[in-house]
Structure formats: structure tokens, C-alpha cells
Structure 1
């Protein structure tokens, strides 16, 4: 083994590099035949940590490799993003070529052409870089077992991004099959830091004792030093509101761009990305040709051009979304600017790691608040980075929709024997507790369509052969299934093309549905006029008119992670007790003073409730600082429990910091305290009644129905519209509710609603914390700085952006008096 490691070290020396200890540890562990998880930061050389031992192992197993190269796939490199790193491919190919191994590296994703796929099918590359979805498509092809006989390694890159998602479950199932058919298989994951690393390794390797006993967790001691610099406005708002997307600080960003070779400006949403790009060019036209935009809806060719331009430093700045978080490696970007709170520590650290991949140099990230209170988030993030606080990623359990899709995938290829597959899936983390009864239900579901759908042939997708083999024989069923493989369910996307035919990108159906021919909108940095909508294609032409319509996308509002909300509360407590004065908290001193004039800044053992009256009615504001999802559930819960005491109707608003109950009569907070309305007792029952849980579960069921194959999303260029998908899935939901309430997919929709959407676990913890705190009820004369963003968010639903700005300006003037 020493001779092999010497080969790697000599190669590093020829490049003028020195291997890091974590790389050498990984080489050694892999060559010893171990499985494992490598914990290393972005840009720290993790590609070479695992690709090098894969190549070295190949040369050891095939001593005549220079004259007699063995055919077939040797390793699979799985990455979560399609914006796949050309650099992973280039780095891997470079080492293989320098050692004269003759090994080839190929990419297979949704962007790979049909001709390239066909070529790969005839002669698979030695290393295949792919996504979880493309791996499943390979398992759905005839003779896949033969294809994988030469496979010796699977590397799952950015495992923390897949863990805690259905794509992660999909991968768990895929790995369970590969383990069974590839006797020499080694499984490795690469993960940036997360709170539950040991559990992450458990989920990746599954419950198979032989894998777990022969595994290792390698942590890189090489820590990226991160410097967080807040862009603090010269004039601070005392009454902040979430509305201007941070554009009031645009002039502060320009000097940062000018003094850096390359700058990445991260926004949280694609809409915000479009607006920032437009506004920089509007105000500083000299940046034309030097600044670009990168997000998932822009055409692939444009994205690849931008990535290459970052590599060769031909752009000064790129405005991007999370499309540049992962999977795209490039030479050191000098500076990162984060616009608005990223809502999570891991995402912030990941983005910071995009700058300065040079050893011993700090990564610099600027934080630009979109409103004043986000400076508290900046102060909290600084502390999280310093103390290395990280979020956990909670794995899914018993995701039956993904299991059903997987079983049909196996039935589409060569078929499967249930006994064999049951023992394999029992070894996965997600399905370790599946019962025989649940397993039989899943088998019935794919063969006869479950109890209430037996009369309909379209749900009988899999046939059972006399020898017990489960197999899909219908070519139509097989084709529809292959088109539906995957667990990412989004709104229907429309293609945007010029009338002359040039492809621009994709836009969600709900946005285009609001426009008429002749309307203009801004997309991919251009002002476009809608000419016509034909067969899911929006045909457009360039326009010189100014447009107020900037493309917005669903999923624009993220919530605070539990660790992020905890350190945010701690920052506020340090302010309440005047113990700590970070530059950010100092900058907010006038806002805090104003808050103290009308109310208080709550301390560690205090829970603040504010009430006041305006022309709109009686406002009651609560500040758990737990993130918008928890507040959505908690506001409905409290409103429901209050209505049981006496009839009262509320209008509800919430943000990441708190929630508001607005009514036409005053609320007696003492009554709320005396009746223990924050108790976590009967939480599940009360939540179901307060939130119309059936309606929420019905919406969640749409995704479950699509993933499990109950509802077909359509053929390419003939996509089923979102509203039709919704109505088809709702019909099935109602059938199960009325005739088959024990249906596992129906029950799963409720479980996911409570566990993932409403974060019932976090809500319970928050309620228990509030019950132990002293409740401070402040009867205020007018809105406070803390209440202002929540009130203005509610107004946003009713007013256009221009009217909203005027209204808020008037309100601020009155409050400042």
C-alpha cells in the first residue's frame, strides 16, 4: 500500500502541491477496503481525496492496466446538482491521464444528449459523474446488473444536501440495490459540516452491520477561516420593513465589486436575483458585459458560459442564487456578498467557502441586510461561524411514495422478486422499521392499485409472473414511468423562447398565466414582451418599454433553521441585558431605544406580547423568534384556542420573528395566560382543527401522488398543467379519505404536513420553552419597531408595491413623530 500512496504523493509533488492529512487518511482507508464519510469544506481538495485511491485500487487489481485496460464502469460519482462540475471531470481525467491508466470520465444527467447516452450505453465510462435521478434511470434499463458488475466504488458528493430530502431516500434505495449486485463495492460520502455527522454516515451506509463495522468517519482538520463583514447603512431605519430587497445599499456594493477581481453576489430567490442584476446595470451602465446572472431557470448554455467566465475571471461580478452553491467548482472568487438573511448557518458557510480557495487565506463574506432587523441575523451568524454551530439534517422515515416509485423502476427493467428486495430495503435507514403488512400493501398498490382503485386498469402497473417475478410488460407504462423518475416536484415550467426560436430559459406557469399578450416582463436580465402562449411555450420579443413585472418564482420565502433561531434569540438577549455590543447591535441602538420606549427587548427568561389599537383594529403581537413555519402553525393554534374561550375572528400575519392576531375587539392577554393556551397538551388534535390540516395535507398529497406515479405529469412538450395535476390528485385524496382511510400514501400526506411543513417537533419545543418563561404583556400606544415588519407584510397581500411604499412612508412619518 505504501508504494501506491507514494505514487499519489509524487504526483502531488509534480503539481507543486502537498497532500493534506485528511486526503492521505482517506487514501489509506479506501485502499484498506473501508467505507466512510469524509467531512471536508468546499474547495479543500476532496475530489482528489477519493478519486486518487479509486484509480490506485484499479492499478493494483489490474497490474497490466497499461496494455490491457478492462472495460466497464469502475466508479460512480453522485452529485446533487445538474450544474455539474466540469472541474470534477477535468480533475479526475487529469490524474487518470498522468498515470497513463487509459481510464475515461463521463457525465450523465438530465442535460446529457440522447446520442451521448446511447454512446455511454454501448461503452460506459470508467468513472460516471451523475445525479440520483440519472442513477435511477440506469436501474430502470434492461440488463443493469451486467452494466454494474465491474463497479467498485460509489462516491456521494455533498451528502448533506441530499440527506433530509426525498432525493436522499431515493439514493438510499439505489445504494441498497448496488450493494446487493456489486460484491466489491465501497461506499463513500463527502459532506460539509452538519450537526449530525455520525447520523449522516449511518443513513448513507444503511443498517447493514458488515458495512458499518468496516467504516470510518474522517474529519478534515483544515478549517476554512471565515471573515464576516456587515454592510451597515449610514442611516438606520427605526421602523424596518421587508420590501426594498436591500437595494438602498446598492451604492455600498459597487466599491466592493470594483476592488475585487471577481465577486459573487448571492440572493435568496430568483426574483431577487433578476432585480439586483437589473438595478446594478440601470444605475451603473459601465458594468455592461462585466456582470452576469446565474440561476436555475436560465438556459444551460448561458449558465455554463457564466461558470467558465468565473473560472477565467473575465467577469467582475455574478448575481446568483443557490444554483452556484454546490456542484460548480471554479478558481478562487475573491469576494462573496450575501444579500438578506440566508436563514441557515450551513448555507451561509457554504457560500462563504466559495471565496479564496487558497491555503491559509480567510474566506471573506459581506452581509447586506435587506432591512434593519436582519443585522441581528448578521451578528448571530458571526457567532455561529466563530463557534462552529451547525444545523442537523433530519432524515426521512418511511417515505412510501419513493419506495413505490423505486419498485416500479425495478419492475420496468429486469423485474424483481419481493423477498430479495424486502431484505435489501430493510437495511436502509429510511425503511428499517417497515412492517411486512406495509410491504404487502406497497406490492398490492403497484399490482392492483390499492383497495379502492382495483376497478381501474391504469393503476395495475406491474404484473406478477407465475414464477413470482414482478415485472412491467406494458411499453406505455414503462415509458411513462421513465419520464416520471425523480422526487423533485415543482410547478409546471414553461419554456421561454424568442419568436425567432432562440431559447432563453424556463418560467413557472403561475407567473406567465397572469400576463396577456403585449405585457412586458423582465427575465434573464432582458425586458421581454409576451407575444403568444402556445403548447407550453411562451413566445416573446425584446422590448424597450420599462416593465414593473420582474419574474418571481414560488418558494421565495424560506424559514429560519432551529439553530439559527436559537442564536438569534441569544443575540437579542445579550442586547436586552446590555452585555454585548457587536458592531451590528451597536448600529441598531436607535431602533432598540425606540423599541424600549414603547415596549421592551425581551431577555432570556421573557416572552413578549404587545397589544395596541389602530384604525385597522386591535393588534396582538407575539415574538417567539422561531421562523415563519413555526409561527404559521403557532398563530393558527393560539387563534383556535382563543376562539374556544369566546367567539372571535382573527386576521393572521407572521414572519421569522413573530406573528400578529388582528381582530375587531380587544384581546384579553391575561385570559390567554391564565388558561395555559401555550401548552403543548393536545397539540396534534388542536393543530388539525386550527389549520384545516386536511386542506394542507391535500396540497401535500399532490407531490406524493406524482412521486408514487398515481398522477402522470405529462410527456415532454405536453406537460399537464398544475391546476389539472392538483385536481387529479385531489380527486384521489378524497377517494382515499372516504373509502380507504388506512391508505399509506393518504396517511403519509398528513405525517409530512405535520413533520416537515408545520415542524410540529419544533413547535412543541417552542411551546414548552414559552411555558417556562415569564410572559411580559406590553399595552402599547402605537406600533413598535419589532411589530412593524409583521404589519407591513400583511398589507403587502392587499396593496400593489407602489401603493404599499406610499402607505408605509405615511405610517413611518406618523410613528416617528
Structure 2
């Protein structure tokens, strides 16, 4: 039975009145259930604290034998709530590793260790807590291979790697508890499924072990608990710490706002105002949405405040561990004024001195905004404060809408993945290397997970065949014969294959990393090969906040030296899709555009833009579909505003363009953003409701999408990741020359062709197609959007000028189809025309 304890969220505007609720500390009741000799309350008494109700409920649930999920806002003491119960219980069960703590990020491990060691030292100073992650020094790894500590902190990848060692179950000894931190971050990803499979393995070894998850900012708690616990779900606990965490969400209002904004055009123009906000606070954590933005904003802040050199730092996943440690330690001890970061600091790390968070650009989701806000005031009773910085004027609406959704507690859900077979076969090889398995026993174990509960018998037989010989088309090649049966159990004993598999464990795929280092040997971090390969020797780049000159590029190592001060160079860029707008935030934005919501300074600031939109057309919303049509001398355009997010709009744009082009034969150019999409053609785009509804119909949706999106080519690209995770493409062993991305692409493409031609029923091919539809097109969300549009009224407007909502789509199209100089000229000309028309009207 879920347990909930009262909550509220307070919000405010930067230039308006703030409403902050006082923090309430509950008193400890007299009827506390009796605890073992090592009482969780003991640690609190040594600190002079009183436990919150949710902490007591969690201790009691654990000590009564329950597994469960704890959901609580950031900074309220989730770690102590979920750790002290297992810690108190563990002392009655002898020596060995008693508690396994799984963290989604290596960056969290050090901070987690600090939090766990404090109560451990109070109860049993002789016991240890250590971390085993990709950042663990080799000497410590060797020591942990011999003996595991009482509490072990690790990541899903490192845990999978440990499963390949035959003595790992003995090293764990009498494991009592597994705790999965930040479960909402893993849920809905292959790393989450990897965690599910590892938990199933541990449950098989240690049936009495309890499993607990920690989560914040998540909408589908029961489903999340089901994914975490699998068939151990029945009788589990769900505890929600709904407490009054003071939260202030503010927005930086630009001093000047253009009437026709487009994405990113404000950019760093607000940097001076941002620097002023940083000046007011003691310690600020500034978040951007991409690593490239992090590099840009770090440079911009230093140029505005040169005296901050050494007082501000940068943090993102491509920086070397040493560089990240400097930033984290500076936040922790308050010696830094500001750290510019990406999502690498979203989670869990306790930086008590941080009293302000700044978010550059829309967070694109309510949960992400709340998560980042919680990085400030990261202690019970302290106010969490976040300041939004719009990168274009319409993001003012997004920040106002995000505050509305946060106040309404309309937080996004994360849907668990089902049946990623590439990960299943990787896990089976992992298990066969460590502790050979009997197939029927393993099938029961696999089906005990939420991800594979519906695994069909034929899919299981295919998986066994795949790890034995790679499938029918690859059976003649010895390299794909990994596992074989010995006395009824699948095992892997080829040392070369074992080494290669251990190098390949994991699910994260990306462009191969190139190490950036000074000639003297100091490593700065990594960039993607596709970026560094475009820079000539002697060329300049900006990375890790430094202007650099490329000296040498050889075998995935780029040697650099410091550049002259006036030599800026290219900002390092990384691949990856832009974050799509969530359904919850999109709905909140649509309501704001319709004038629904309390007074907000953001809406006052953007009112002139919305006034032009209303006069020239009408304000869009998600209760009806607005479609605008405009003709020019050269072409005509249709603008649609479904408010379904960038990825869905990409699919809708391609679908409608394909259906129109199929009838008219005209070439159609599509553009999309989070609010809508546009179609441009020389002719053939008509503003007719019957025709448009036919083109937006859900009839033959899948077939038409497959035809218009070239899903065969998309699936071929997606297959590269699946081939790597499943072990069809192996990592190069240390000391051997690594293969370039081009070679990997050729290899995966060749495998794709071979399987398509000679093993068309290979389930990995079907998985590639399925993942493309869901990842690239968000098929489920796209289908839901079409269903909504079919039932919604349609407002058709013939416009004489590009409206403020249409202009960003038009501008993006120019940037994509013209040279930078030509695009800038056309933009300036169009802005003059539009501003003149707006002034006259």
C-alpha cells in the first residue's frame, strides 16, 4: 500500500513577489516500533536530529522484510532513509558484503560514499564502504577483486562486469540489500533493463535480499516499482515523502525583446544579466542543455568577468575525471563562484553551499526543471531557487508554463523498455562466463524481470542459438560461437572471447572518443572523432574552457598546446538529438498561450509578440489545430501547430509532406520545432480542411511512415548500436590499433546486409526497426497526437505575413538550405518587412 505524506511547492518570479512556505520538521512520536540493537535512530540522535515520517516508514518497511521504492524531493534525506535500515539489519548477519548500492553515474559514487561512510563510522568504524566504477583506480580494483567491503557502490556496467567473475557470488557472501539510486534516471533506458537483469541474477543467488529504489520527479511510481522489482513486486512498499520543500522558480526577463524571435538568437546576449545574477549569490550552478553550450557559456562568463578566472569551472561528461573533480570539490567546499555544467551534475551530488541554480534554455520537461532546482538548497529546510534564462523570447512562455506544471505537480512519466533482445544476449554471455547456467533455470530468472516477463519461447530459443553460433547466417564463422553446452549448462571458456566481451559490456553507444591531451601528458578529456577530424593540424579549438591548437592526431589521441589568447578556435561539439518537449510541458505552454494561468511577468514581457500573433492569425493551443497558409512570389507555406514536441513533429511533417507529394508530385521541404512544423513548396499546398484532415489521418500510418522516412536506412544506422551491444561487433583489445567509426559503420552495414539477405527472421533486425519507430519517430506519441488531432477542431487562417509563431520555422528552413551569408541577408530583409508591417498594423 503506497504511503504518502503531505507536500506543497512554492514558486515566484524574479521581479515579482515570492511565496515561500516554512519548512516543518516533524517531532518523533512515542510509539516507534522496536528496532534491533543497531537502531537507525541512533545516528540521528548523535546529530541531534529528528527523523522525518518518510524516513521512519522506510526503516520500518525494510526491517519488516519488504522491498520497495522511495520517492522524495531532492535534498530531504533519501539516502539516510533507505540506508540506515539495511545498515542496522546487517550487523546481525556476520561478515561479507551486505549492501550493494547501484548508482547511474560515476560522478555520484564519491559523494554517495561520503554519505554512506558517515553512519557506518558511527555504528561500526571497522567496516568499509568503497566504490567500483569506471573511475576506480587500478590498485583499488585489484583489492576489491580479492575482498569486497561491507557496502559496495557501483554502476550497472561495473556490476555486469563483476558478474563475469566466477567467484563473485562468494565474494558477495550473505548479501542483504540492493539499493538502486536515482531509479527514475535509469528507467526507460537500456541501462535500466541492464539493471533489471542484474537484479534478477542477484535475487536468484540471494533470495532473502531486499531491493529498494530511490526516485525523485517521476509521474508513474507504481509502474517504476514494477520495473525495479519484477516478480518481487507483490507485497512491496511504495513510500512517497510529500513534504514542504520551499521552491522558487524565477525567470530572467530580457531588457529588449524582438517581436519576431527565432530559436537561439538571444543566446549569450543575456550573459551580462546572468553574470549579475551570479554576482548576487554565493555559489551558483549554471546548467545548459548541451556540452557545446557549456563550453560557450564558460568562455562568455570569463570574458565578462575576467577576475573570475580560477573562481568558475566547467563540468560535463567528456572532461577528464580530474577536471570534473576540481569542479565538484569547488562546489562542495564553496571555493568556486560558479560551475557551468550539463546533465552530468543533474543527479544526487550534495553541494550544500550552492544557493542558486541557473537554467540556460528551456528545460523541455517539468521533472528536469525540478531535478536541477533541487541542486540548490540541498538540505532540509533550505530554499531551492532556480532562475530560467531564455535563449529566445518564446521560451519565456515555456518557463512560465514549467512553473505552472510544477505547482500542479504534473510531472512526466518514464515508460520502461520491453524486450531489448540485444541486451538479453549480452547478459546471457555475461552470465555464462561467470557462472554457467542451465537454460530452464535462466529462463525463469529472465522472465522474473519486468522487461522480459513476456519473452516468448521462440524468442528464448533464438537467444540461446544466437549466443551459441550467431544465428543461421553467421553459424559458419567461429568468432560468433561464444557459448557452448557442458553438462547441460551454457558456458564460455575461450579467454580471447571473454576479454572481448568484458570490453564490450554496456549499452551506451556514441561516436568513438578521441582523447585530448597536452604534449606533456596531461589529459583534458575526450571529444568525438567526427569533430576533431574536421580540424587541420595547427588549427584551433576550444575545449575544457581552454583555447588550444591541434599539434598531432594519431590513433585516437589528439595532442594539443595552449593557443594565443586572441585565438578562440572552434567550440567542441558533440552529437545527439535535441531534447524534445514533454507532453506535460507542451500542454502547459498551450494553456499559457490561451491566456490560462495566474499573472506572470514572463507573459507580460512576451505580450507584444502574442498580440501580433493574435491580430495577424490567432493564438495556437492544443485544444484545436491552428494551420496557417501564406503565399510568396516564389513559393507557398503551410504552418501547423500541434504542440507535440520536435520528434513527433518531425514524423508528422514527413508524413503530411509524403501524402501531399504523392498526389501532387511537388517537392516539399519540411521544418519542425517543439511547437509545430512547416511545409514549403512551389505550389500544391492548399488550405482545405477536408484535404488536410485526410493527410493527418491515422489510416495506413505505419506503412506511410515506413515509406516516407526511409526507415530501412534509419534501421541500418540503429543496427550499429544493436550489433555492438549484442556482441556482433566487438571492442578492440587494449594495445591493438582501434578501428575508426568508418570501419565500424562498414562492418555493421555488412552484417545488416548479410542478415537481411540470409537471416531475414533475425530478431535483431526487427528490434532495429522497432527502436527506430520509437526513438526516432516516437511512434506511440505520434499515434496519440494524430488521434488527438483527428478529434480536434481545425482553425485555418490565410495570413499575409509570417506570424511570430511561423517565423522561427521559416528562419530554421533558411539556415538549413542556404549558405550562412545568404541566410543572414534573407533574415534581415524579412525582419525589416515584418517589423514595418507590425508597426503599421
**Offset of 1:675 from its aligned partner?**
5.7
Shift of 1:84: 2.3
Q: How does 1:562-711 map to 2 (within 5 A)?
A: 562-574=583-595, 581-603=599-621, 605-614=623-632, 617-670=635-688, 673=691, 676-711=694-729
* 205, 217, 220: which one aligns with 1:193: 217
- For 1:555, the equivalent position in structure 2 comes to 576
TM-score (norm 2): 0.93
Name the SS for the 1:452 alignment partner: coil
Q: Contact (CA 8 Å) 2:334, 2:353: kept in 1 or not?
A: no
Counterpart of 1:493 in structure 2 is 513
Going from structure 1 to structure 2, the CA distance change for 1:734 and 1:672 (only over 3 Å counts) comes to farther
Where does residue 263 of structure 2 map in the other structure?
A: 242
Aligned-partner SS, 2:159: helix
Cα distance between partner residues in 2 of 1:582 and 1:95: 45
**Cα distance in 2, alignment partners of residues 183 and 764 from structure 1:** 42
**1:259 is the counterpart of 2:280:** yes
1:731 to 728, 745, 750: 750
1:26 lines up with 2:58 in the alignment: yes
1:531 to 2:551 alignment: yes
Q: Deviations over 1:96-153 (max 9, x none)?
A: 1112352200000011122211101112111000000000011011222222332111
SS at match of 1:4: coil
From the superposition, tell whether residues 192 and 272 of structure 1 become closer, same or farther in structure 2 (CA, over 3 Å).
same
Question: 733-742 or 39-48: which moved more?
Answer: 733-742
Greater shift, 675-684 or 442-451, is seen at: 675-684
The partner residue of 1:387 within 385, 395, 408 is 408
SS at match of 2:747: helix
Change (3 A) 1:295 1:616: farther
> Alignment partner for residue 502 of structure 2, among 472, 476, 482?
482
CA–CA separation in structure 1 for the residues paired with 2:826 and 2:310: 38
Distance 1:183 1:117 in 2: 27
Aligned to 2:349: 328
CA distance in 1, matches of 2:504, 2:770: 24
Give the drift of 1:774. 2.2
Q: Structure 1 residue aligned with 2:323, among 289, 294, 302?
A: 302
TM-score between the two structures when normalised by the length of structure 1: 0.95
Answer yes or no: is the 8 Å Cα contact 2:38–2:91 preserved in 1. no
1:269–1:556 Cα contact (<8 Å) kept: no
| Partner Cα separation in structure 2 for residue 746 and residue 203 of structure 1 | 25
Q: CA deviation at 1:5?
A: 8.1
CA RMSD of aligned residues (A): 1.8
> Shift in Å at residue 251 of structure 1?
1.5
The DSSP-based 3-state class of the residue aligned with 2:286 is: strand
* Aligned 8 A contact 2:188 2:416 in 1: yes
Residue 758 of structure 1 corresponds to which residue in structure 2? 777
Superposed counterparts of 1:24-173, under 5 Å: 24-62=56-94, 70=95, 72-100=96-124, 102-173=126-197
- Equivalent position SS for 2:571: coil
1:316 offset after TM fit, Å? 0.7
Paired residue secondary structure (2:211): strand
Gaps of 5+ in 1: 63-69
Aligned residue number for residue 790 of structure 1: 809
User: What SS is found at the alignment partner of 2:638?
Assistant: strand
| Paired residues of 1:240 and 1:372 also in contact (CA < 8 A) | yes
Contact 2:177 2:211 in 1 (8 A): yes
| Residues 615/142 of structure 1: CA separation in 2 closer, same or farther (3 Å cut) | farther
Q: Deviations 1:217-270 (Å, cap 9, x if unpaired)?
A: 111132423211111112111111123463111121122111111001100000
| Cα distance change on mapping 1:808 and 1:674 into 2, 3 Å | closer
> Which of 764, 774, 794 in structure 2 is aligned with 1:745?
764
CA contact (8 A) 2:515 2:527 kept: yes
Matched with 1:339 is: 360
Deviations 1:777-797 (A, max 9, x none): 222222211111112222223
| Deviation by residue 1:615-661 (Cα, 9 ceiling, x = unmatched) | 66222211111111001100010011112222111111111111111
1:206 aligns with 2:230: yes
Which of 706, 714, 719 is equivalent to 2:732?
714
Structure 2 residue aligned with 1:66: none
The answer as to whether partners of 2:333 and 2:353 remain within 8 angstroms in 1 is no
What is the Cα deviation at residue 61 of structure 1? 3.5
Structure-2 separation of matches of 1:531 and 1:615: 51
Runs of 5+ in structure 2 lacking a partner?
1-32, 837-841
Aligned to 1:65: none
Task: Show CA shifts across 1:679-726 (max 9, x none).
Answer: 112111111111111111111111111100111232347432222212
In 2, the alpha carbon distance for the partners of 1:814 and 1:51 equals 64
> What displacement does 1:603 show?
4.6
Kindly tell me the number of residue pairs found equivalent between the two proteins: 802
